[in-house]
Amino acid sequence: GQSLEQPSEVTAVEGAIVQINCTYQTSGFYGLSWYQQHDGGAPTFLSYNGLDGLEETGRFSSFLSRSDSYGYLLLQELQMKDSASYFCAVRDQAGTALIFGKGTTLSVSS
């Protein structure tokens, strides 16, 4: 089966940089995705890594190391609006269902 581990909570101050780690175990690997969710609202897609390395999208970057079954989401120049839950996700062994981690709650203070 699939399992994902990520920290439950992270705190930071405005303007700082924060890294949210995700380790996974999966029978077949189809890439690592990241989603953001504000206050129980609709989760929104942030990034996807299919190959090793860093993907950058504005203030957010995501990294993947397939050999280590590890990835992270890097948020730079933190803003109050970045306070949210962040989920890493992988496809199941059949490559169909997208399985989510339990999420990391990020709290940004001024």
Partner 1 sequence: NAGVMQNPRHLVRRRGQEARLRCSPMKGHSHVYWYRQLPEEGLKFMVYLQKENIIDESGMPKERFSAEFPKEGPSILRIQQVVRGDSAAYFCASSPGREKLFFGSGTQLSVL
Query: Parallel, antiparallel, or unpaired for β 3-5 and 18-25?
Result: antiparallel
User: Cβ(38)–Cβ(26) under 8 Å?
Assistant: no
Q: How far is the CB of 36 from partner 1 (least distance, A)?
A: 11
Q: How far is the CB of 104 from partner 1 (least distance, A)?
A: 10
E strand spans, 16-103? 18-25, 32-37, 44-49, 53-57, 60-65, 70-75, 84-91, 98-100
For residue 29, give both structure tokens: 């690997």
Q: Which span sits near partner 1 by CB under 8 A: 15-23, 39-47, 51-59, 68-76? A: 39-47
Q: How far is the CB of 62 from partner 1 (least distance, A)?
A: 13
User: Which of 32, 71, 75, 103 lies at the binding interface for partner 1 (CB under 8 A)?
Assistant: 103
Nearer CB in complex with partner 1: 67/96: 96
The residue ranges that bind partner 1 (CB under 8 A) are 30, 33, 35, 40-45, 48, 87, 91-92, 94-103
